[in-house]
Amino acid sequence: MTEAGARIVRDLVWNTIRLDPAAARIVDTSAFQRLRYIRQLGLTHLVYPGASHTRFDHALGVYHLAMTALRLLRERGSAPPEAFEGEEVVPYAALLHDIGHYAFSHALEELEPERIPAHHEVAAERFFQSPELREALAPLGIGVEHRIYALIRGEGEEPLRGLVSGSLDLDKMEYLRRDAHFCGVPYGEVDVDRLLQGLVLLQSPMTGQWEVGLHEKAVAALESLLFAKYQMFRNVYWHHAVRSATALYKRIVEEAMSGGLLDPEELVGPTDEQLLYEIERRALEDDGEVAERLASRWIPALRHRRLPKRSLELTAADLQGQHVPEWAVNDTSRKRAVEDQLAFELELESGEVMIDFPRKRTMFQLDLLIERRSGRVERLGPTGLPGLLDLPKVAEELYRAARVLRVFTFQRREVAAERILEMITRAA
């Protein structure tokens, strides 16, 4: 029998998701419903048409996994009551972990920090100030929104915080499975059941504090998750056309802000189509050069999938012995100056050359406790555990293989590799 106020949701990935009354109240708020209109994978649907799933679907899935993980940890019965301190807010932190996302998900977080108000996990605080969301959370206790917000940011001392934010958090298990399914690729088939069964609450040998860890028997499933992540980045998230569309979208937003059409604070709140529509509307009403460029060329190009061309691609082998500095990785003013110099040389307009070299520093980073078969507890960190998980030996090479430096141009041009290397790299 369903509890009063509870709800059952049918989900393509997890089949049945049961929302308790508190979760149902949260889902009904405008702040949460907004996530229905923010695509989980940004502009990836322009390459993989099925990738139209949203942050809403994903958040429900993470909540479902949190409820499952907590039940399994309780059933295991091997941890004392203090190890479950703060348990009551974990499912709602899981449900709300993406509440602060910008339009088209992570793309705008690649801009310079001064271009955006905050990282999406920090921007989440503004949504917690919503009277409607506060009212939905009120029955959970005074100040619960602050506890949930701390968990989302990976702060606090709650033993179960690793389920929400950590190197083996439930978010990663959910998005890899969901993204692979909707993209129609086989790379994200993570053994989530084995990972959940392998979760244990362990005391740190160094501090004595309780943390979420993993039993040695589930390490093979952890390994599969890490390699699934690598495959998804290489084949989906960093696909050349996905990166081209992302670069164009970032350039549209950057130009709108530079041209005075958009204030950075206005980035918090709009959904995917709302933001694009508003930029387009303002550009059509403005008679400036930037507005004309946005309204007549760049926004229509994104909407109609006339993406910038891949004019140069340099792999790890091509970059051997070369160092790409930070300013050339981030969307900095110095990189923009180099791009515009290239545009001039290629007889293109300012802003119509884009250098893209994506990164994900935490792709293989691990920091969690492992319970060995002997009962000994050890920390699995960046250096791995010899004989158990020696991933650091191959992680750097996998990361380098996944990253590709590309030059995109609005019209097809030939770009000499030597010229790019001369402009943005130095000997390693």
For the chain, which residues make up each domain, given as ranges? 7-225, 239-307
How far apart CA 415 and CA 339 sit, in angstroms, is 12
Q: What are 101's two structure tokens?
A: 């996302």
How far apart CA 152 and CA 291 sit, in angstroms, is 38
SS3 179: helix
Q: What is the pLDDT of residue 120?
A: 65
Q: What is the pLDDT of residue 364?
A: 80
Closest of 116, 121, 118 to residue 150, by C-alpha: 121
Q: What is the pLDDT of residue 168?
A: 87
pLDDT tens string, the chain, 428 residues long: the values are 467 789 999 999 999 999 999 999 999 999 999 999 999 999 999 999 999 999 999 999 999 999 999 999 999 888 999 999 999 999 999 999 999 999 998 888 888 877 877 776 777 888 998 999 999 999 999 999 999 999 998 887 889 999 999 888 999 999 999 999 999 999 878 899 999 999 999 999 999 999 999 999 999 999 889 889 999 999 999 999 999 999 999 999 999 999 999 999 999 999 999 999 999 999 999 999 999 999 999 999 999 999 999 999 999 889 988 899 999 988 888 999 999 999 999 999 999 999 999 988 778 888 899 999 999 999 988 777 877 777 766 777 888 889 999 999 999 999 999 999 999 987 65
φ/ψ of residue 263, rounded to 5: -95, 140
Q: What is the pLDDT of residue 385?
A: 82
**Domain range 7-225, its CATH number among 3.40.50.2300, 1.10.3720.10, 1.10.3210.10, 3.40.50.880:** 1.10.3210.10
Q: What is the pLDDT of residue 9?
A: 97
How far apart CA 99 and CA 102 sit, in angstroms, is 9
Q: What is the pLDDT of residue 2?
A: 63
How far apart CA 226 and CA 245 sit, in angstroms, is 26
Q: What is the pLDDT of residue 425?
A: 84
Global pTM exceeds 0.85: yes
DSSP 398-418: HHHHH--EEEEESS-----HH
Closest of 34, 33, 38 to residue 51, by C-alpha: 38
Is residue 313 within a helix (H) or strand (E), and if so which, with residue range? Answer: strand 309-314
Q: What is the pLDDT of residue 389?
A: 74
